[in-house]
Amino acid sequence: MKTTILFVSALLLSLSMVSPAVAQESDVVHDTWSIGAPMPHVAMGGAAVALGKRIILLGGFIDWNNTEVANTLVYNPASNSWSWGSPLPMPIAAMSAAVVNNVLYLFGGIVDNASTFTNAVWAYDPQTKTWSSKSPMPTARSDSGAVVENNIIYVIGGRNPTRLQTVESYDPTTDTWTEEAPLLIGQSNFTVGRLGTWIVAADGYAEYGYAGDTEGLNPLTNAWETGTPDPTVRDGTCGGSIGSQLYVAGGYDYGPAITRTESFSSKNTWETLADMPLATMLLYSAVYNGQLYCFGGSDAWEGNLLDHVQIYQP
């Protein structure tokens, strides 16, 4: 109980020091979902990031036979249209990605038909439209999360092959890695984001199964603290942080994909929101212009792969 109270009070203080968000247009309909133009092909289990005025979808699987691809898909939210980007250096799935100073960084993943965990790090420069290799992660892994804080990228948890507590930070300026405080519970396939100066990780799969675990990295103590668990335990979700909320949508828990959408707030509470239009798991997800974008995925474990685009307006 004491740890949870500290989590709440410190997180509220952190958010109070952040400048308020710009007010949204008055005609925006909140807590709603819309559908975008379908992807050029079905896919699941890759990474997505907002880069400039586009959302970039990277790699992933195109079937349940663990066929990874090197495809890069580019979505234009303004025109609701797709194009092809520069292919990855190799087929990869289940990786994490982040952007610092308009350069896209790709971390780890799984290769060779899901037989090998990699610690490779790749950087994409949109000016030259080229990929380059960077200093590898100390820990090879898939299904991790990546969050940027003060231009440092934190790569969190993952799998190899057991679930990992490992947290390592990458400094793009020096191309170096630092070991950070570990998660309280080793997990993979979770949702990560920033609430103020805190890094928050929610849901995912642990060695003992689904727990709905919520943890926050206290920037003052550099230690992870326990938050209120998600009432809907799951992994393989679409999610990200917008303002003072961490949003989690879809995913699965030993069954078909689900549509449940929830948000975790600085008050250490979860709120149920409007359901996704389509039940989906193992999605690509990115936050752009105050909205959560959820791409592709599957409707069930070993089910039908999807090309859907679902967009949530908080």
What share of residues in the chain are helix, strand, coil (percent, to 5)?
Answer: 5, 45, 50
Written as six digits, the tokens of 291 are 């909205």
d(CA 262, CA 233) in angstroms, rounded, equals 11
pLDDT tens digits, 275-294: 999 999 999 999 999 999 99
pLDDT given at position 25: 55
Instruction: Answer whether 151's CB lies under 8 Å from 162's CB.
Output: no
What one-letter code names the amino acid at 141?
A: R
pLDDT tens digits, 241-254: 999 999 999 999 98
What one-letter code names the amino acid at 1?
A: M
**At a CB cut-off of 8 Å and minimum separation 6, what does 128 contact?**
none
d(CA 305, CA 43) in angstroms, rounded, equals 6
- The low-confidence residues of the chain, meaning pLDDT below 70, are 1-26
pLDDT given at position 107: 98
Burial 193-229 (b: 16+ CB within 10 A, else e): bbbbbbbbbbbbbbeeebbbbbbbbbeeeeebbbbbe
d(CA 216, CA 247) in angstroms, rounded, equals 15
The count of other CB atoms within 10 Å of the CB of residue 52 is 10
Delineate the domains of the chain, giving CATH numbers in brackets.
2-15+29-313 (2.120.10.80)
pTM: 0.93
**At a CB cut-off of 8 Å and minimum separation 6, what does 183 contact?**
156, 157, 164, 165, 166, 167, 201, 215, 224
- The stretches of the chain forming alpha helices (DSSP H) are 2-16
Q: For tokens 């952040």, what's the residue?
A: 18
CA–CA distance from 126 to each of 45, 52, 81, 86 (Å)? Answer: 23, 9, 19, 9
d(CA 233, CA 231) in angstroms, rounded, equals 6
pLDDT tens digits, 178-223: 999 999 999 999 999 999 999 999 999 999 898 799 999 999 999 9
